[in-house]
Amino acid sequence: MSLFQISRIFAPNFWGWLADHTGKRAPWIKLTAFLGLCGFMGVFWAQGFFWMFFVMAALSLFTSSTLPLAESLTLAHLATTNGHYGRIRMWGSLGFIVAAVVLGFMIDIAGIASLLWFLLAVQLVLFLLSYSLPEPKIASHAHDHFSIWQVIKQPNVITLLVGCSLMVTAHGVLYNFYSIYLSEHGYSKGVIGLLWSIGVICEIGVFMLMPVIMRRFTLKLILLASLLLAVVRFLLIGVAVDSLWLLLFAQTLHAATFGSFHAASVEVVTQFFNGRHQAKGQAIYNSVAYGVGGTIGGVAGGYALQYLGGQVTFAMAAAFPLVGLAVIGFGLKLTNNQQNSQGMFR
């Protein structure tokens, strides 16, 4: 399973370069969706660790690239259609809830093997839907004459990527070990599922409200508030694990620690990586933040959980968004146009 995190570090950059080099997004989404479908079909025949390792490696190389390509296509359309990224991204969160509910009943009725057929159907539908994606017109951008390395080397870009990685590192601990942690403290699977659902529901709510939030607050302020609330959230998970009400409150903060933070981060990334660098920019953001950050959180969290225990691990995880708060607060310098996300939609 770690192959998916590792692939997110490398694979999206290759496909992002292809998309920007050819000036096309949709054909590469179709190709990665098709190859992901083919890769997943290998799961039905793989026997033994090494064959499964090979199949999962092939699958992860393609499926880890579909999302950043699709997000770059979405953002390219939004630049000319007055759209709102958060209200489109919320459908991914709704999909998460539907999958969790449907799979719960399906596995109870038909057994764990039904999971493979469900995921195969999802991959097939994803591939078929990729044929309905309209190719956007790529608008020119002030940084088009820069090389990709000149864009990356800007202090603002480095600051943003480091800050995002720190936030995702803490969430890497959460995504990998939260359910195990709660189970060890006596919570039932039903309660654990409820806590996860509350977080995703709140995430959907904030995605719907992002256009209003971004009109009232600057992107930097949204990032800082999200990081501060992440510090509170992870401390609560660590020190108040025996209080269900405090855990419920901590899960509502997922609206900020993932929802508003991710939406604002994507907006800022788009300010620096646009035009002919847009797909590469989304790929780099996914690779550094979710690939590197998620991998560090998963690996470090595993060792910390083993040797220090869950309460110390989650309390320590709060240190990552705390450092991110300082990095973004002192290092990210945005112009007035960049501070206001609405400028990119005019």
Q: What does the DSSP assignment read for 187-218?
A: --HHHHHHHHHHHHHHHHHHHHHHHHHHHHS-
> In the predicted model, what is the mean pLDDT of residues 90-97?
85
pTM of the model: 0.79
Q: Where are the domains of the chain?
A: 2-129, 148-345
134 pLDDT more than 60: yes
pLDDT value of position 139: 61
Structure tokens given for 32: 């990665």
Smallest CA-to-CA distance from 171 within 262, 95, 50 is with 262
Round to whole Å and give the CA distance between 59 and 51.
Answer: 12
How is 288-338 classified by DSSP, letter by letter?
Answer: IIIIIIHHHHHHHHHHHHHHH-HHHHHHHHTHHHHHHHHHHHHH----HHH
pLDDT value of position 81: 43
pLDDT value of position 215: 86
pLDDT above 70 covers a percentage of the chain that reads 90
128 pLDDT more than 90: yes
pLDDT tens per residue, range 268-325: 888 777 666 667 777 788 888 888 888 888 888 889 988 999 999 999 999 999 999 9
CATH code that applies to domain 148-345: 1.20.1250.20
pLDDT tens per residue, range 39-72: 888 888 888 888 888 888 888 888 877 877 887 7
Structure tokens given for 194: 């409820």
Structure tokens given for 79: 């630049």
Which H or E run contains 279?
helix 278-285
CB 281 within 8 A of CB 130: no
Residue 151 or residue 251, greater confidence: 251
Structure tokens given for 112: 């764990």
Coil, strand or helix at 145: coil
Round to whole Å and give the CA distance between 260 and 225.
Answer: 9
